[in-house]
């Protein structure tokens, strides 16, 4: 899965710093986008992509897909490293809130996750 901004920088054969300077971009904002910390490609950065032949909507769609893929890869990495310890420290509602905030899951996927958790976790008997 390719990050559209990284793809453009690579295609141009320039460094990230040079790309930022050439397009009068904040390097910090560019780095935030490259790490997936922005919910969408910021307007000035997407304008730079458009200047190099990218379609704005397609680039944004590709970025959203990349962010979701990246988050899934991070969760898989944690799980493969015995992430139960790490993941078990976070309450499920916090994990879901983070995933919703970062737009990793849409509402339907969150509802599916909640239904799965409800069906698989034994609820303790509460004596009246």
Residues 72-96 pLDDT 10s: 777 766 655 655 555 566 666 666 6
Report the distance separating Cα 111 and Cα 119, nearest Å: 12
Across 35-49, 59-73, 82-96, least confident range = 82-96
Most confident of 39-48, 67-76, 101-110: 39-48
pLDDT(63) > 80: yes
Q: How far apart, in Å, are the Cα atoms of 99 and each of 10, 23, 65, 75, 108? A: 29, 32, 14, 11, 13
pLDDT(101) > 90: no
């Amino acid at each position: 899965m390719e990050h559209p901004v990284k793809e453009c920088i690579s295609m141009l054969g320039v460094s990230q710093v040079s790309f930022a300077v050439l397009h009068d971009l904040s390097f910090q904002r560019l780095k935030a986008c490259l790490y997936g910390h922005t919910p969408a490609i910021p307007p000035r950065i997407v304008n730079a992509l458009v200047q190099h032949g990218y379609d704005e909507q397609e680039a944004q769609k590709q970025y959203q897909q990349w962010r979701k893929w990246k988050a899934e890869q991070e969760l898989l990495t944690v799980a493969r490293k015995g992430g139960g310890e790490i993941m078990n420290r976070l309450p499920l509602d916090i994990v879901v809130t983070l995933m919703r905030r970062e737009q990793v899951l849409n509402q339907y996927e969150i509802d599916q996750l909640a239904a799965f958790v409800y069906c698989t976790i034994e609820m303790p008997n509460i004596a009246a």
